[in-house]
Chains A and B, each alone.
Chain A
Amino acid sequence: MKDYAFYPGCSAESTGRGYGLSVQAVAGSLEIQLIELEDWNCCGSTPYGSLNELEAMVVAARNLALAEKTGLDLVTPCSSCYVTLKKANLHLQDHPRLMAMVNEALAVAGLEYHGKVSVRHIVEVLTDDITPGLITEKIKRRLEGLKVAPYYGCQLVRPQYGFDDAELPGSLDSLIECLGAEAVPYPVKARCCGGSLILSEEDLALGLINKLLKSAADNGAHCLATPCPLCQTNLDAYQGKVNSKFKTGYNLPVFFITQLIGLALGLDDKSLGLDTNIVSPRDVLTQLAGVKSGT
């Protein structure tokens, strides 16, 4: 049983609820323990760094200091938190004077950071630590016949921190295939969904989301799977808006990768938060159930 310090990210209990639930659900079956960091604060993400780049580092560093106390790797399911925390971590490690200043500020809360934490994404843990091979051994039902478009989003693979390929990654494909499902060819697999600009530049973001959904549909996907809560929200909650703006008829459920893994592990819909998915996965699940019963 391997332990990790767990950083859920702000969306895990709101827009990313399905992710927050399914990550913890599969952790147990895959022999890892995700111990939530006590009283963690928002990592700051892109907006804080854009308004005040140094203050943003302090905000991120508080979480690193908390994680360092546990002595464990810090794992997050959110791609944006991953990049933000990792970037802050590396920057502080390379700039000791800044680290000293940050620590002087953290001292007010009785915290200190020494640069010893390793920041990781849950997909990295599933691929490198747990491995697809072990997941295949543990699954209770193969997701045969399910065609999934593996949608990585941007920040899982860029900037390059040594995990997977920045242009044409393969980790999600492996995770999908090890469940018995088919990862369809998906040329835009690592392109941007529009991120938080869905709120302030909606038309622009809807255009990007349309490109992603179109390619998935063109390549015969029944659904998409993604490791980023913001991507999932954009592709899922706004799929209706894309349909009305571009006169398209997409009906592609967007799973969190851990929801798919959970399905294969035989976990129940409720614990995987499948009721939070807006584009209903009902049809896909029915089809899967049909496969299971041998039809």
Chain B
Amino acid sequence: MEPRIGVYICHCGSNIAGTVDCEDVARFAQGLEGVVIARDYKFMCSEPGQDLIKQDIRELGVNRVVVASCSPTMHEPTFRRACQEAGLNPYFFEMANIREHCSWVTEDRAKATQKAMALVSAAVRRVYYHQSLESREVDINPNTLVVGGGIAGIQAALKVADSGHRVYLVERSSSIGGHMAQLDKTFPTLDCSACILTPKMTLVGSHPYIELLTYSEIEEIAGYVGNFKVKIRKKARYVDWSKCTGCGRCQELCPTIVSNEFEVGLGKRKAIYKPFAQAVPNKVVIDAENCRHLKGLAEGKDVCRLCQRGIEKKGVPGCEVGAIDFTQQDEVVEVEVGAIIVTTGFHLFDPTPIHQYGYGRLDNVITSMEFERMVNSAGPTGGHVLLKDGTEPESVALIHCVGSRDEQYHKYCSRVCCMYSMKFAHLLKEHTSADVYEFYIDIRSFGKGYEEFYNRILEEGTVFFRGKPAEITDVAETPQEEGKLIVQFEDTLVGRQRRVPVDMVVLSCGLEPQPDSETVARLFNISRSADGFFLEKHPKLDPVATMTDGIFIAGCCQSPKDIPDTVAQASAAAAEALAMISRGKVEIEAATAVINEHLCTGCQVCMANCPYSAIAFDEEKGVCQVNEALCKGCGVCVGGCPGDAVSLNHYTNEQLLAQMEGALV
């Protein structure tokens, strides 16, 4: 079939036409060999734009289509579909990126137009050699994996499971709940966090379609959208959870006391523990790093085991269901899922490097999470706000933007700190009779009910100073400052430097990505944006999908946000996963590798190099063969074959060489 090429130059409004002379490029394209029609149009991806293509296929017998517009990641599927609807195999389509690769990277009109012509010429020469290909459809595994058991993971898991599809919810610590379980009241409604969270946690724990794997981590992920194979390591907890009733007797018996991470270092736990009383699952784990018996085993000693033995002398029994099992090992299980939702949450910024704020050096300078635990009635101080010496503060300073909006730490705004700082002010007025001062640069109370909350806090008597504190010091300059922490700042609305002595300083620390986010990103094969959070496919139009099909992100692991937005994103991710699952099938790129059996010598270099284990050796024929279902079209085998026996559909040598020559106009 003689190629009859149709070329379409998109203006993309002024995105392309503002820099590239589209009419000129269209005129140029018309003169290229094989081109029967070349047009330029304002928005090729719109319906009238697509209709131009379809019309030309039907009426002018166009059988090869080139669209010069944006990136293929944006609209290659759109135009391929348009071709298909007009009866043309979608692989007879080629896209030239004259936006992201051309009009968006220069302001020089002459150079941009010239480059656009080169890109179009390359596409035209290439499309000449395109072949018709059939894309495959594979079944989608209806299971979903949710990674991270905070509120985002809990919400996503429930939404998917409620549809009757199975969910594996994996959480690193021994209980789900995440940071939300650590909070006291939540803004702007001042709902008690545990009261709204624990019902959801209980639902997860008892849901027939959710398999909860806590104290577990993802070890390995293989496969592709609809067909992921995931290895999960269930860490040894040295307690048989099928027997453990969560009675807590062992916790009382254990003699080892260590700092409790859930209480952010303000409280203690034992080596055998539940992170908090409402843990789901309601089971204990043994912390091998601190357990005396487990440490003793390494030296061949048999010590302690009080949790198991009890105190024989006093007739106090140990675990009455015999759940303690010091022989337990890590267990690796493998599950198969079709969609993965990553909800690994955030890490609180550590303000130690900000020397001028004195965290870690001055008593009574604390972080926001430390304050949350302190003011929580179930926390280490029983809900009392206390100074190091056990007395109540008479004045408290709340400092905004610690580690956020700061070139030296994190440039971004952490979105929730203004609101939670104001929440702290309210709680301080509720729990104490202290004077409360908020030090801010801007008040960001953007959400539903948020500005009204700000008004309420103002009326309750908290004093707001507009000025980012320069330093917190204990060096007094007047008698009134003796024994106090002094906040030195500029009251910018008054225009003067001032010093305010207080008893306690709470640093509103920002939210940052988890410390292992790089490792996790690599594990899931997703990208991160410049600030280190996981990268969404499109910030406005596709905020919960990633560039890796089948893997979604939700909550603070994508960017700092409050609970309403987190829950909304989690539901969105669940919806996207369910959309995939209910379709039942997913289309796989037809650009797979093909081995010419006549040329293959059976050296198996391709097999050794294939990252997807998609090539197998046929003993009988003595040649290698590609499993199309597994092949991702990466091309490693093509490059590696010493005999040039492998070619890649839709990326043949012929096509690529033509493309290169076409670019050299």
Contacts and interface: CB of A to CB of B under 8 A. Distances in A.
Nearest to A166: B355
A260 B601 CA distance: 80
Contact of A167 (B356, B474, B477): B356
B198 interface: no
Contacts of A168: 355
A187 B355 contact: no
Contact of A165 (B355, B473, B474): B355
Interface string B418-459: 000000000000000000000000000000000000000000
A215 interface: yes
A292 interface: no
A168 B359 CA distance: 13
A215 B475 contact: yes
**Most central of B355, B473, B477 by chain A CB within 10 Å:** B355
Which size bracket describes the interface of A in this complex? under 10
A193 interface: no
Nearest to B473: A187
A187 B477 CA distance: 13
B477 A211 contact: yes
Contact of B475 (A166, A167, A188): A188
Interface string A179-222: 00000000110000000000000000000000100010000000
Contacts of A215: 475
A46 to B, nearest CB: 22
Nearest to A169: B355
A187 B475 contact: yes
Nearest to A160: B408
Contacts of A211: 477
Contacts of B356: 167
Nearest to B357: A167
A279 B473 CA distance: 30
A188 B475 CA distance: 8
A251 to B, nearest CB: 22
A137 B162 CA distance: 74
Interface in B341-368: 355-356
B352 to A, nearest CB: 12
B640 to A, nearest CB: 45
B554 to A, nearest CB: 39
Contacts of B355: 165-168
A166 B473 CA distance: 16
Contacts of A165: 355
Contacts of B474: 187
A293 to B, nearest CB: 38
Nearest to A168: B355
Nearest to B362: A187
A151 to B, nearest CB: 14
B24 to A, nearest CB: 37
Contacts of B477: 211
Nearest to B475: A187
B488 to A, nearest CB: 12
Interface in A120-178: 165-168
Contacts of A187: 473-475
B403 to A, nearest CB: 15
A207 to B, nearest CB: 10
Interface string B475-517: 1010000000000000000000000000000000000000000
Interface string B393-406: 00000000000000
A166 B475 CA distance: 18
Given A187-B475, A211-B477, 8 more contacts: A165-B355, A166-B355, A167-B355, A167-B356, A168-B355, A187-B473, A187-B474, A188-B475
Interface of A: 165-168, 187-188, 211, 215
9 contacts: A165-B355, A166-B355, A167-B355, A167-B356, A187-B473, A187-B474, A187-B475, A188-B475, A215-B475
Q: Which 4 residue pairs spanning A and B have beta carbons closest together?
A: A167-B355, A168-B355, A187-B475, A167-B356
